Amino acid sequence: MFDKSEEAFPAKKNSLFLAHCAISPMALQAKDAARDFLEAMAEGGISGLPPYFNLLPRFHRKCAELFHTDAANISATHNTAEGMCLLANGYPFEPGDEIISYVHEFPSNHYPWRLQERRGVKLLLLGDTDPLGSLSAVTAPRGWSMAELEEKVSPRTRIIALSHVQFTSGYAADLMELGGFCRERGIDLVIDGAQSVGVLPLYPDEYNVAAVAVSCWKWLMGPFGSGLLYTSEEFRDKIELTMVGSSSMQQGLEYLDHSWNPHVDGRKFEYSTLAWEHLAALNGLFDSLFLRYSMEGIREEVFELQDVFLAHLDQDLYTPLLFADEHRSGILAVLPRDADALLVERLARHGIVVTERSGYIRIAPHFYLSPGDMKMAAECFNEEAGKG
């Protein structure tokens, strides 16, 4: 059973938080672990830090457990864009090579690939299509199709860069299918996991995913400005270093030994100093939540909470985007029937926190909410509709 208590999730005292696709309330365990580290730092600087020297290796091991992979495949980063830039800028592209992405990707998974145009690389974007066959009237972003992907692939395709879950519509890629497609064609599949890690299972080794870049303050409920990166060994070996610093080399603390001997595991991308309070916070979260519960269990709980919301939502007032199970995610996007610029603000007066992107209101509950919360949220949505 999930811990849904206010003690563990103090944000429940003030609001009904349905915006885990944006910036989540930091879970208590994360806050406490970060505070302990910061206290040690304040009291003694380096002299207080020895108990924390194993934070980073622990972080690698715990993320690896989450991804069902080896600790050597994990790097700590600060955000999704950093991970993507390290990969895109270091990839051994030749002029004329091609990257395929989707027209409505989040900027952190768009600009790093766009930057490669200066190396003579072509960025091809999948158009927006209607994965449901029932959204032809919807002009907001919906998703992309395997059929168009197949058309766009050529012998020059090196990378396919897509989000596991689209940040607008909540459309989830079927990574097993996508990874198989890439394996057959020798293409490297790079995934933006910001909207899935912490709520959907993601096992890159199993799916043939080459890399996953993640922001940890959404579904993982960690500190703002903390990220992580998974790379397979084969993919990592291809990447040239573009960021280097005090942590890049295997000689570690021998700072005046300048021999060129970079790490070959995930530490290859941890070029310099990291925010240890972030690592402490994330390790606390893995122990207390994300390795305590299964990702499959969390996904089911979140889907059930969304189903309660849907059962009580007046669907004459709102159109929900309902995808087949394999394309469902933590984000349930609903389109209000009437445009209403102040709806999010009026819902906030009821204590309901949601975010709007491209016309969708995104319902993004996490496992610690209750069915009663979701019923109450839907009733407020119904009450506030059409008042704009």
Ligand X SMILES: Cc1ncc(COP(=O)(O)O)c(C=O)c1O
Q: Which residues bind ligand X (CB under 6 A)?
A: 79-81, 106, 108-109, 163, 167, 192, 194-195, 215, 227
Amino acid 142 reads R
Q: Under a CB-based contact definition with an 8 Å cutoff, are residues 11 and 25 in contact? A: yes
How many CB atoms are closer than 10 A to CB 147? 10
Minimum CB separation of residue 77 from ligand X in Å reads 9
Nearer to ligand X, 66 or 81 (CB): 81
Nearer to ligand X, 26 or 313 (CB): 26
Q: What angle do CA 8, 14, 15 make, to 5 degrees?
A: 95
Minimum CB separation of residue 211 from ligand X in Å reads 14
Minimum CB separation of residue 192 from ligand X in Å reads 5
Question: In 3-state terms, the chain is what percent helix, strand and coil (to 5)?
Answer: 40, 15, 45
Nearer to ligand X, 82 or 384 (CB): 82
Minimum CB separation of residue 80 from ligand X in Å reads 4
Task: Determine the Cα–Cα distance for residues 372 and 384; give it in Å rounded to an integer.
Answer: 18
Amino acid 176 reads M
Task: Determine the Cα–Cα distance for residues 180 and 178; give it in Å rounded to an integer.
Answer: 5
Minimum CB separation of residue 194 from ligand X in Å reads 3
Nearer to ligand X, 360 or 384 (CB): 360
Task: Determine the Cα–Cα distance for residues 321 and 23; give it in Å rounded to an integer.
Answer: 22
Q: Under a CB-based contact definition with an 8 Å cutoff, are residues 281 and 24 in contact? A: no
Nearer to ligand X, 327 or 385 (CB): 327
Task: Determine the Cα–Cα distance for residues 267 and 286; give it in Å rounded to an integer.
Answer: 20
Q: What angle do CA 218, 241, 202 make, to 5 degrees?
A: 35
Task: Determine the Cα–Cα distance for residues 3 and 366; give it in Å rounded to an integer.
Answer: 12
Minimum CB separation of residue 72 from ligand X in Å reads 23
Nearer to ligand X, 229 or 289 (CB): 229
Nearer to ligand X, 105 or 384 (CB): 105
Minimum CB separation of residue 196 from ligand X in Å reads 9
